[in-house]
C-alpha cells in the first residue's frame, strides 16, 4: 500500500509552520522528527519520508524562515531554532522522539538533545554543523559585510535564483546526475520568496564568520547518554568527514556511518542507503 505524505500547517506561537507527516508507527516506537539544513526545506526529506513512515510516525517541519513557514524579520540563531523545536513538539503533543538533523538541522537536533534529554530517545546527526571549525568558503564568505546583501539582491531575480540553485547543487551533491529536478525547482522558488534569503543569511551569520564555524559543540558531546548515529557523505564538500570522526570519538554511545560517493545531503542523493542505515540503527536500540 502506498504511503500518503500529508502537508499540514500549525500555529507555533506567532508562527505558522508548514510540516510534512506520514505513517502510524509500530506500537510504542517513538516518532521521528526530521530537521533540514540552512537554505533548505522539508522537501529534503521527501525521498526518504515514505520509506521511514512504513515503520514510524514521521514529522518534517519547515523551519521558521524557510519553505512555506512564516519568515519574520528576526535573528535566526541555532538557539532560536532549538527553542522552536521544543515549541513545535509541545504544540503537537509529542513527548519522546528520535531527532534526525541534517547540517544546521543536525546542530539544532544536538542542542535540543542536550537541553531536553528527557525528550530524546535517540539522535541522528547527518553531516551536522557545529562539530568543527572548517566549512566551505562559499558559505563563510557570505558573512562578509555587504557581500551577503549583494548576493541576496542578485539571487532574488529569476536568473540569480537559477544560478544560486545550481551553485549550491555543485557543492551539495557528489554527482550532478543525482540532483532531483524537484529540489532545483524548490531552490529557485524559495530564493524568490520574501524573507527567505534574509533569514538564511541571518542564520549563517549566527554560526559562521569568514574564518569558519565559531559555535562548536564537540566538548558537549560526552554529556549525551542516548544512542547517537553520525552519518556523513564521504565526498561532503561543505563539512569535511573528519568532523564526523572527531564527533564520534567523544560520544558515549556513538556510531559512525559514511555513505559512499555522497555529498552533503545523503537523504536526497542516496535515499535507500540513508534509510537502510537509519532503520538498522533504530532497530538495534528499540
CB atoms within 10 A of CB 219: 8
pLDDT at 73 over 70: yes
At what angle are helices 158-172 and 147-155 packed, to 10 degrees? 110
What value does the mean pLDDT take over residues 128-140? 96
| Angle value at C-alpha 277, between 79 and 217, nearest 5 degrees | 25
180-192 residue pLDDT tens: 999 999 999 999 9
Contact predicate 48/274, CB 8 Å = yes
Contact predicate 123/228, CB 8 Å = yes
Dihedral angle of Cα 161, 165, 168, 173, to the nearest 10 degrees: 180
pLDDT at 227 over 90: yes
The pLDDT score that the predictor gives to residue 24 is 85
32-53 residue pLDDT tens: 999 999 999 999 999 999 999 9
CA distances to 41, 90, 149, 187, 273 from 112, in Å = 19, 13, 30, 27, 26
- Residue 209 CA, chain-centre distance (Å), reads 20
What value does the mean pLDDT take over residues 167-171? 97
Residues found in the chain: 286
The model scores a pTM over 0.85: yes
Of 194, 199, 205, 260, whose CA–CA distance to 231 is shortest? 260
The pLDDT score that the predictor gives to residue 29 is 85
pLDDT at 1 over 80: no
Residue whose grid cell is 553531516:
127
The pLDDT score that the predictor gives to residue 285 is 85
Name the residue with higher pLDDT: 27 or 175: 175
| Angle value at C-alpha 128, between 45 and 187, nearest 5 degrees | 45
At what angle are helices 147-155 and 196-205 packed, to 10 degrees? 150
Residues 6+ apart with CB under 8 A from 93: none
82-132 residue pLDDT tens: 999 999 999 999 999 999 999 999 999 999 999 999 999 999 999 999 999
pLDDT at 27 over 70: no
- Residue 68 CA, chain-centre distance (Å), reads 16
Residue 108 corresponds to which cell in the numbers above? 539544532
249-279 residue pLDDT tens: 999 999 999 999 999 999 999 999 999 999 9
Instruction: Classify burial at 227, counting beta carbons within 10 Å of its beta carbon; exposed 0-12, middle 13-18, buried 19 or more.
Output: buried
- Domains, the chain, ordered by start: 6-135+214-285 (3.40.50.1820)
What value does the mean pLDDT take over residues 190-203? 98
The pLDDT score that the predictor gives to residue 31 is 97
Q: Report, in this order, helix, strand and coil percent for the chain, each rounded to 5.
A: 45, 20, 40
Percent of the chain at pLDDT above 70?
Answer: 98
Amino acid at each position: 500500500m502506498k504511503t500518503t505524505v500529508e502537508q499540514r500547517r500549525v500555529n507555533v506561537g506567532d508562527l505558522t509552520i508548514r510540516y510534512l507527516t506520514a505513517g502510524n508507527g509500530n506500537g510504542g516506537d517513538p516518532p521521528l522528527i526530521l530537521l533540514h539544513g540552512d537554505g533548505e526545506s522539508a522537501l529534503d526529506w521527501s525521498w526518504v519520508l515514505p520509506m521511514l513512515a512504513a515503520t514510524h510516525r514521521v514529522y518534517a517541519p519547515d523551519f521558521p524562515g524557510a519553505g512555506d513557514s512564516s519568515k519574520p524579520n528576526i535573528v535566526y540563531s541555532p538557539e532560536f531554532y532549538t527553542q522552536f523545536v521544543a515549541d513545535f513538539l509541545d504544540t503537537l503533543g509529542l513527548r519522546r522522539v528520535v531527532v534526525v538533523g541534517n547540517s544546521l538541522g543536525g546542530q539544532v537536533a544536538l542542542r535540543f538533545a542536550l537541553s531536553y534529554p528527557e525528550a530524546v530517545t535517540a539522535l541522528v546527526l547527518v553531516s551536522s554543523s557545529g562539530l568543527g571549525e572548517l566549512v566551505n568558503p562559499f558559505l563563510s564568505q557570505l558573512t562578509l559585510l555587504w557581500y551577503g546583501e549583494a548576493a541576496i539582491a542578485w539571487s532574488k531575480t529569476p536568473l540569480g535564483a537559477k544560478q544560486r540553485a545550481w551553485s549550491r547543487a555543485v557543492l551539495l551533491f557528489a554527482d550532478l546526475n543525482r540532483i532531483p529536478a524537484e529540489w532545483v525547482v524548490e531552490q529557485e522558488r524559495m530564493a524568490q520568496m520574501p524573507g527567505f534569503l534574509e533569514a538564511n543569511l541571518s542564520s549563517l551569520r549566527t554560526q559562521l564568520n569568514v574564518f569558519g564555524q565559531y559555535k562548536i559543540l564537540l566538548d558537549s558531546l560526552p554529556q549525551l547518554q542516548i544512542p547517537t548515529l553520525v552519518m556523513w557523505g564521504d565526498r561532503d564538500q561543505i563539512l569535511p568527514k573528519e568532523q564526523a570522526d572527531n564527533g564520534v570519538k567523544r560520544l558515549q554511545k556513538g556510531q559512525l556511518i559514511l555513505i559512499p560517493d555522497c555529498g552533503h545531503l545523503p537523504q536526497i542523493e542516496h535515499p535507500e542507503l540513508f534509510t537502510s542505515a537509519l532503520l538498522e540503527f533504530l532497530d538495534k536500540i528499540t
